[in-house]
Structure 1
């Protein structure tokens, strides 16, 4: 080691003395970190770690019995996945080592503090065999990915529970069209984390005689390819085995790409005096988004298709247990044995939970992935079969309760498929647990319930005794009031909701039926006592010891929707149907009754609005108390403002503006 002043002359640089030291282990990497000034971290291929001072004095050494695959050294402030307090030093270098032990890959997290002490933060085994390991990337957010020689690219994310670290498995990607997959040469591919879930992959593509270097910029959280670039391979390494390495540069906007031959120098080249091979170093400019977002991933799925294997592009890469479960459920449904499918699913879940709970907290195992849940739903619900068949509704209801179902998992409308199976319990769960339902399918389902409601009312009014023979009537269909309550509680956007009303609510009589239910709810709200002060039952202390308001009703499902939800739905309904309602004399009475209920509410709102100014001080005090209590529970010291500065600020604010309820009189 030596220091070299770039401003000095060449002679002075040559005269500087170099220092050397002999370490107790081999050297595979040298690292420096700003949070450890005047320190050099030295690693070995056997997993050993030594801390050197700038004068090459050995400060500390940590031995290991594991073979090191790759090591990353990050600053403590850049490792956002670590707990903010606890066993992790506030200033330290974080060493993340991927090692192999008993043919398995493990991740070891170590902290080196300012006093050259080692702090073990985690040692976790990954579900990866070391013989198939190719490369690994790691980001300070805790997102890391492992590339295997068969083209499988696995993504993980480190999480913390108190002072314990664990990982969540994310989606896998199966690559193709890259040379390292067919040759099993791990040196022909390299990956580098660029922050968040963005990873840059470098590899070789093309035939042996016409190979090229390809750079693929991925967002692995969405498994999409954001950008790609192809570079010609230098001619002096075209016909040789090539080693590719990606290295982060000092500037975050550049990446270094190293391409060098790995084959032994031939006898002919040695006779020609060529004792070494040539290598190339490219500086690759990159523009990385500050964070992973769905906005950057939209429309990028097609770009990744040439680099994804066909089998994984069509379905999820399940493990052996999931694949076996999918086959069992499909076989049971083909034999029309839904009970066997249900038993197989819950036995698999019970077995998987018991296995994962040994290494992770019980609430952290990733049991369901998007594609796995999608495949289970499509096998169980069978949307392509128009006739009603028996199906294991308990599986669908369980997935809905776990909040892992998305409306986009079905080719047809989710509510429509559930309605074809007459599974109204699952429909009710979907309206409370699925966040991406379309307004059109919600209103269509509402119209189905509305039609059954009107049929039953007509049959009752005509004193007919054949109500059971009405097409589609059954005891499982909810009442109009119960289903409309679920619809009003679902978060909808006004414009799509109006469009759905125009499409499905063309009959004025249907609108009048809905208005009657809404009017009854508005009347109940209008008839309730006005409560300005909360009762003792409505006030309690939270976990921080601060008094807060509790919800008005613990069982909201048995109560009517809020006034805000009712008026929002009513406004969208009136906007699309007002002209037809005006032209229908039978609708005038219900419109006048709704107006009679709403007008006093508007007057009441205008009166209570005057309390906003005087009560604003108490709202600010409540917010401040909660904030200070939360900071105290986390051990954060809240700065005490200087009284003089605070008084000066209040005086300036009072002089600059007139308060909300301040009266000033000027007499001339």
Structure 2
């Protein structure tokens, strides 16, 4: 993917004019719906659902419809149609709001029509299938395809999410959120950073509660068609004030309000924290605006200027992590929109976006917006965009929201910070500590917001100076104590921090071992802190992080173990996990009574350069079964060697550990014998291994470097070329180079 950010010249895909003749019309304001086609065989297809027209499968590369279902001017739809493509066969699903073909007009908004088509010229179109999905009290809000071709999802305005069989349209599962669903964002769990457990699909829904506040739900769909809610968060934004919402697979959730303010949040199953300070857009009209998430914290925006008769639409790419404008493009509007202000809607479509423009008089146009963007947000790209961003945002701090739009918790937090700031400015440290302690007793929040803690520390830890009052030690101590046992953050540091000291890793490991031992002790045993059993990670999963941490050295591990492992019971607990790994790895190797030397097709995948590699290591690190996966055998053996160097004498003096030592010895002897057998194959297999490594190395060379090497030619040709060599002897300065050929 490109490392630069740019928006290419948009081009028109199609245009539609609606002349609806039915008795009732779709409740939606859009006359054309667009949806990306879920297909593994062909890219660049989108499903266009046109009111009073039909459903069309359009190829964005040829600008032609490859499949069309024309239904006439009396047909309307409730939501965008969804198309699922499997091996050249395309199945389209549409929710019909009104049509003369409906047996009962009360079925409108509840019935799904399905067509099966093929791009092959010899195949014939199959008949349309229909099925009523929801009862009379509900209406279908949207249809969504999943990574599983046998399942589609439907969302209702009553707050229900349905799992449907893609062939029979039978309901296989459901989940009720009991809220009016406004938007649904669907991601493959393998590509989603905030998917909390093994699942196929992760959904993020934006809903509004009875008070009108925005609620965010994270929902997981597993292979058994079970929907489960993983997390729920409430934001202080009210539905009437929101213009549009976006969410990316990396967890960047943004809310654009009608007053132009734009806020971003980092979404995880544990919290929804602000990603950056909100800012206000300028020049653009918040009433006619649309956003869609791209990669990381990049968001594509389309908006009209606040003119009465705008002639252009502004297309922009923003990085919400740094609040900067990365690229901008002006799209001239067709003349048909000169007399009526169009509404805008952006739809992502695999490396490009579709912009839908619709007017109240049922005129619509679709534009394809090609763009290039890096996969991750980086400071290097954003740092030079300050000057180009300044004209598009309002100067100064954003206006504060009205107090009635803030939640009770936000008001209380602002009040306690103001009280502490006033007390610290007067040098009354005890008063500040008392105000914080009183607020802490009354609050019901299990964890404190990141920005609140940051603002609080800025107040109590002011810069050192002659007139600076001492800091509030009790507040700092309380914040540190509340942050203890934050195991989720500790686990995340193994993948985000590159220089964790081995001593700190082992110290944390031993702390976890002691906590597990204390919780396994009788109920009257003394507890070190208040960590509950549900908060603690398993010893096996945390030890796996320690074993696979790439920057740990054997020497550092040995020193850390010698420093912190002082109780033989702690060493025995670690040895027990290592023994279970060795036993399980040996059983996996001898699966089905055979030695699995050759990887199966499921174990192979293409890397970023298109070369086939074994995917086992990648699955261990990133797969959703990471808690159950075993570390690689070389990593386990390496850690076991360091562990024995540091703790063998302790285990030897601890009689209950003798059986563990014998079992470990048996596993190691078995692996050593197996290695001796494999050693006999080294001579036969080494050419293939060397060839594969050469292929990997050559594939990683950029094309420009390959072309430069080709232009240099073979070394024999360069040697024979004059005047590089005179005879078989060349001179380099005062040195003489001679060549001896045997």
Question: What is the TM-score normalised by the length of structure 2?
Answer: 0.47
The partner residue of 2:394 within 302, 309, 314 is 309
Deviation at 1:650, TM superposition (A): 7.9
Look up the SS of the partner of 2:369 in the other structure.
Answer: strand
CA distance in 2, matches of 1:374, 1:118: 41
Matched, 1:94 2:202: yes
CA distance in 1, matches of 2:564, 2:122: 82
Look up the SS of the partner of 1:2 in the other structure.
Answer: strand
1:500 is aligned to: none
CA contact (8 A) 1:176 1:309 kept: yes
**Cα gap change, 1:112 to 1:654, in 2 (>3 Å):** closer
The partner residue of 1:243 within 323, 327, 343 is 343
**Cα gap change, 1:345 to 1:286, in 2 (>3 Å):** farther
Deviation at 1:4, TM superposition (A): 1.1
CA contact (8 A) 2:276 2:323 kept: yes
* Structure ranking higher in strand proportion: 2
1:225 is aligned to: 325
CA distance in 2, matches of 1:537, 1:122: 37
CA contact (8 A) 1:59 1:116 kept: no
Deviation at 1:19, TM superposition (A): 0.9
CA distance in 2, matches of 1:112, 1:339: 54
CA contact (8 A) 2:247 2:254 kept: yes
* Correspondences of 1:321-336 after superposition (within 5 Å): none
1:273 is aligned to: none
CA contact (8 A) 1:19 1:56 kept: no
Q: What is the number of equivalent residue pairs in this alignment? A: 406
CA contact (8 A) 1:243 1:259 kept: yes
Deviation at 1:30, TM superposition (A): 1.2
The partner residue of 2:195 within 82, 97, 105 is 82
Matched, 1:46 2:158: yes
CA contact (8 A) 2:433 2:475 kept: no
CA contact (8 A) 1:381 1:391 kept: no
The partner residue of 1:287 within 372, 389, 393 is 372
The partner residue of 2:127 within 13, 17, 30 is 17
Deviation string 1:382-427 (CA, Å, 9 cap, x unpaired) is 99xxxx4343543899499979xxxxxxxxxxxxxxxxxxxxxxxx
Matched, 1:648 2:678: yes
The partner residue of 1:210 within 285, 310, 313 is 310
Deviation at 1:534, TM superposition (A): 9.5
1:136 is aligned to: 245
Which one scores higher on RCO, CA 8 angstroms, separation ≥ 6? 2
Deviation string 1:180-211 (CA, Å, 9 cap, x unpaired) is 43xxx3xx222211122222222222522334
CA distance in 2, matches of 1:390, 1:246: 53
CA contact (8 A) 1:39 1:54 kept: yes
Deviation at 1:344, TM superposition (A): 4.7
* Correspondences of 1:633-644 after superposition (within 5 Å): none
The partner residue of 2:291 within 182, 191, 206 is 191
**Cα gap change, 1:80 to 1:533, in 2 (>3 Å):** closer
Look up the SS of the partner of 1:110 in the other structure.
Answer: strand
1:151 is aligned to: 260
CA contact (8 A) 1:20 1:56 kept: no
**Cα gap change, 1:352 to 1:57, in 2 (>3 Å):** same
2:611 is aligned to: none
CA distance in 1, matches of 2:153, 2:560: 64
Deviation at 1:71, TM superposition (A): 0.7
CA contact (8 A) 1:112 1:119 kept: yes
Look up the SS of the partner of 1:311 in the other structure.
Answer: coil
1:7 is aligned to: 120
Gaps of 5+ in 1: 266-276, 404-434, 436-530, 548-615, 627-637, 657-668
The partner residue of 2:472 within 377, 388, 394 is 394
Deviation string 1:418-454 (CA, Å, 9 cap, x unpaired) is xxxxxxxxxxxxxxxxx9xxxxxxxxxxxxxxxxxxx
Matched, 1:70 2:154: no
* Correspondences of 1:535-614 after superposition (within 5 Å): 545-546=573-574
Deviation at 1:75, TM superposition (A): 2.0
Deviation at 1:68, TM superposition (A): 1.2
* Structure ranking higher in helix proportion: 1
Deviation at 1:31, TM superposition (A): 0.8
* Correspondences of 1:169-568 after superposition (within 5 Å): 169-181=274-286, 185=287, 188-249=288-349, 251=350, 253-261=351-359, 263=360, 265=361, 277-312=362-397, 337-339=426-428, 343-344=431-432, 347=435, 351=439, 355=443, 358-360=444-446, 362=447, 365-368=449-452, 372=455, 376=459, 381=463, 388-394=466-472, 398=476, 545-546=573-574
CA contact (8 A) 2:304 2:314 kept: yes
**Cα gap change, 1:125 to 1:617, in 2 (>3 Å):** closer
Question: What is the TM-score normalised by the length of structure 1?
Answer: 0.51
2:507 is aligned to: none
Deviation at 1:100, TM superposition (A): 0.6
Deviation string 1:28-55 (CA, Å, 9 cap, x unpaired) is 21111123x2222122233222333233
CA distance in 1, matches of 2:573, 2:154: 49
CA contact (8 A) 2:416 2:439 kept: no
Deviation at 1:98, TM superposition (A): 0.9
CA contact (8 A) 2:309 2:341 kept: no
2:143 is aligned to: 30
CA distance in 1, matches of 2:121, 2:161: 34
**Cα gap change, 1:18 to 1:195, in 2 (>3 Å):** same
CA contact (8 A) 2:312 2:333 kept: yes
2:226 is aligned to: 117
Look up the SS of the partner of 1:236 in the other structure.
Answer: helix
Look up the SS of the partner of 1:338 in the other structure.
Answer: coil
Deviation at 1:94, TM superposition (A): 2.3
CA contact (8 A) 1:50 1:58 kept: no
CA contact (8 A) 2:280 2:398 kept: no
CA contact (8 A) 2:433 2:472 kept: no
CA distance in 1, matches of 2:203, 2:478: 41
Deviation at 1:241, TM superposition (A): 3.3
CA contact (8 A) 1:211 1:233 kept: yes
Gaps of 5+ in 2: 1-113, 482-496, 498-557, 576-634, 646-666, 687-742
Deviation at 1:299, TM superposition (A): 2.3
Question: Which of the two has higher C-alpha Rg?
Answer: 1
**Cα gap change, 1:233 to 1:389, in 2 (>3 Å):** same
1:622 is aligned to: 641
Deviation at 1:237, TM superposition (A): 1.9
